Amino acid sequence: MVDQDVEEVAWEGMDPDGTVARVRRAQSWVPLIVTIGLAVLGLVGWQAVAVSRLPEPIMHPNRFDGVIYWAGPNLGPFYAKQDVHSAELLFVGDSRVYDDTDLDVVRRSGEDSVGLIWGPNADLSVLLPAIMDLPAERLVVALSPSTLGAKTNPVMRASLVTPPPVFEPLSLESALGIWVDGERARLIEEGYTPFIVDTHLSSFRKVLRETTRRSKGGTHQLDRVVGERLNYFRTENIRTLATRRWHREWFEVANADKLVNACRITLEVITEEERAAAEEIVVEKLRELVARGVDVRCVRFPVSPSVLAVEREFVPDARLEAIAAAAGVPYYQFQSEGLPAGVPPSEDTSLYETRDGSHLTWAASRRFTRQLMERIQGPGSGK
């Protein structure tokens, strides 16, 4: 791309014996030295002047991160991060749990064995029964209006009536391809448009692939490395260009109202009967967990004031508190004001800045996780 064809005397000055050729004309190293100097100056200037003036970095999470966690036929999809089958501390809930809980911060707070199970608009009345057999000693449950009776992606639900087969690592891609082809035909037959089906299945393949690799031990490393370069999954391959985690992202700005309408739509479709039924199951399962000796904490993750207002229209704060009270578990209410319940609101709403109204920015998620861990590990935590 850049000029690389300037003629050089070096090519005329090769030693006849074929060893190292000597340059006859001296050439200057000044450009290199000046470049390094300028770059160092630029970096110092950047650090001194620009960094403090940049907007809050926003993290771009991968929505399909983790491996599939089965709640049961037609119940999902949920995703598991880390080894949830051995984790002592388990976070469960919707995408807020995934986005807002920074596992690095959790680990730094002294929690070595931690896992996370989540799903978009995860319905706790489905998710909690599915995790009852896990050995976690402590459980953080994200309680919010959208986790009570929410309906997840209809295409995914239709696709996951039965779990896909367990794929063999060495024939993973072709077996996966066959499964996807079958699912595609079936879903299209059910009335979903090909484009929607393809998009969902192509995203979903990544999770299935990762799920197989994680569950197959020794060969997953080879598979992970080689599998990413398959021609069969062009769409997926281009996703490998996506950077999954950023320290800084300057190309998006936070918009606290972005998901207000989406939040309203999600809550509108849940009927009162469904919500009440979900509440009943949640209370029952939480009680069961407590009776087993599991240290359960219910947490309302922070959202923007506009999203909070919509949520309160459908489910008042008191109703969520009542669920925790009925189950006999502590309830921490982190709200958009950025302060735990009981603490007077301050003017500072940037403490838990959301990038879209429902999920925190990267920096805010770290702050939030620190505060959450202080509460969880505080007096009476059993930790």
Partner 1 sequence: MSFDSGTFWVLFGLSWLLWWRLPFSWAKTAALAASLIFYAWWSPYYLPLIIISAVVDYAAGGRIHAARTDGARTRWLLVSLCTNLGLLGYFKYGHFALENLDTIAGALGVKGVNTAIPWVVPVGISFYTFQTLSYSIDIYRGRLAPAKSFRDFFLFVAFFPQLVAGPIVRAQELLPQFQRRQWPSPWRIQNGLYLIVWGLFTKIVVADNLAPEIDRIFAMIPSGQATPAHVWLSLVYLGCMVFADFAGYSCLAIGLACLLGMRFPRNFLYPYISRGPQELWVRWHMTLSSWLRDYVYLPLWAKKGGDGRQYTAMLTTMVLAGVWHGAAWTFVMFGLYHGIGVVVNRWWVNTFNGGRRARGWPLDRPKGPGAITKRVGIILLMNVFMQSNWVFFRAPDVASVFEVWRIAYIVPFQKGMGWEVFAEARHLLLVLPIVLMHVTQLLREWFAWRERPWHRVLAAAVMIVALVVVRRTDTADFFYFQF
Contact positions with partner 1 (CB under 8 A) in 139-198: 170-171, 173-175, 177-178, 193-196, 198
Smallest gap from residue 184 Cβ to partner 1 (A): 9
Q: Are 125 and 281 in contact (CB under 8 A)?
A: yes
- Of 72 and 194, nearer to partner 1 (C-beta) is 194
Residue (of 379, 283, 290, 375) closest to 333 by Cα position: 375
Q: Are 57 and 246 in contact (CB under 8 A)?
A: yes
Q: Which of the stretches 36-44, 266-274, 356-364, 370-378 binds partner 1 when contact is defined by CB under 8 A?
A: 36-44
In what helix (H) or strand (E) does residue 127 lie, and over which residues does it extend? helix 124-130
Smallest gap from residue 339 Cβ to partner 1 (A): 31
Residues 60-119 that bind partner 1 (CB under 8 A): 60
Smallest gap from residue 346 Cβ to partner 1 (A): 30
DSSP result, 20-32: ----SS----HHH
199 touches partner 1 by CB under 8 A: yes
Smallest gap from residue 63 Cβ to partner 1 (A): 9
Smallest gap from residue 311 Cβ to partner 1 (A): 23
Which residue from 216, 247, 293, 379 is in contact with partner 1, where contact means CB under 8 A? 247
Distance CA 263, CA 339 (A): 22
Smallest gap from residue 7 Cβ to partner 1 (A): 10
Instruction: Write the Ramachandran bin of 357: left for phi over 0, alpha for psi from -120 to 50, otherwise beta.
Output: left
Residues 216-245 that bind partner 1 (CB under 8 A): 222, 225-232, 234-235, 237-245
Residue (of 63, 329, 311, 53) closest to 204 by Cα position: 63
Residues 251-270 that bind partner 1 (CB under 8 A): 251-252
Look up residue 40 and give its amino acid. V
Smallest gap from residue 176 Cβ to partner 1 (A): 10
- Of 2 and 291, nearer to partner 1 (C-beta) is 2
Residues 13-32 that bind partner 1 (CB under 8 A): 14-15, 18-23, 25-29, 31-32
- Of 59 and 92, nearer to partner 1 (C-beta) is 59
Distance CA 112, CA 89 (A): 9
Distance CA 191, CA 168 (A): 31
Task: Output phi, psi for 234, to 5 deg.
Answer: -55, -45
Residue (of 180, 182, 188, 189) closest to 232 by Cα position: 180
38 touches partner 1 by CB under 8 A: yes
DSSP result, 129-173: HHTTTS--SEEEEE--GGGSS----HHHHHHTSSPPPPPPGGGHH
Q: Which of the stretches 90-98, 136-144, 210-218, 250-258 binds partner 1 when contact is defined by CB under 8 A?
A: 250-258
Task: Kindly give, in sequence order, each residue whose CB lies less than 8 Å from that of residue 209, ignoring residues fewer than 6 positions away.
Answer: 167, 172, 173, 176, 227, 236
Q: Which of the stretches 12-20, 274-282, 305-313, 361-369 binds partner 1 when contact is defined by CB under 8 A?
A: 12-20
Smallest gap from residue 73 Cβ to partner 1 (A): 25
- Of 23 and 343, nearer to partner 1 (C-beta) is 23
Q: Which of the stretches 33-41, 79-87, 135-143, 308-316 binds partner 1 when contact is defined by CB under 8 A?
A: 33-41
Q: Which two tokens stand for residue 369?
A: 């996780």
Smallest gap from residue 352 Cβ to partner 1 (A): 23
